[in-house]
Amino acid sequence: MTGEAEDRPVDHIEQIRAQWARELPGIDTEGVAIIGRARRITLHLRPLIEAVFARHGLDVGEFDVLATLHRAGSPFRLTPTELYRTLMISSGGLTDRLSRLEAAGLVRRLPAETDRRSLLVELTELGRQRTEAAFREDMALEHELISGLSEAERRQLAELLRKLALSLSVDTPPQRGR
């Protein structure tokens, strides 16, 4: 290795790959270069992002519920089934979150107009305000966190991650009402 590669800083994942290459030279560790880095980045950033939501009296799961309702658009309501499918959590986990959010005045549960046995979850005005404030602060933080990449690099990385997520079938949008 000569020139530019030698001047490039070595990160923890590169050290791990070099150790494995030394110990088990025939094993391809390219997956660690991507997935290992993604995991380390997520673990490093998680406390920073959780702190944003905590400043708004929320945890990440509660914010996810509020944000899903907000993104649904006016009148900011979804059925519990639509929520838990979108959030990929159990119905029991959703019920716990909804109870906390309802007690805080951020959502309300209403009978569905077409079926009185069904419920709708609606974002309250306070819930919309809290969601918007938390989202604005989160996006400012995330913009700062990716500022080490150029605009072109950010677009390229986002596209590559989208492609990887789709190839793994982990990022297909949920179907509304199904």
Query: Is this structure's pTM higher than 0.75?
Result: yes
Same domain, 77 and 109: yes
Q: Give the residue numbers spanning the domain of 40.
A: 10-44
Kindly state whether residue 24 falls inside one of the protein's structural domains: yes
* Strand pairing category for 119-123 and 77-78: antiparallel
Same domain, 62 and 135: yes
Which pLDDT belongs to residue 10?
Answer: 85
What is the widest separation between alpha-carbon atoms in the chain?
72
Same domain, 34 and 63: no
Same domain, 61 and 39: no
Which pLDDT belongs to residue 169?
Answer: 80
C-beta neighbour count of 113 within 10 angstroms = 8
Give me the average pLDDT of each 10-residue run along the chain (178 residues). Answer: 64 94 95 95 96 97 96 94 86 90 96 79 97 98 97 97 88 52
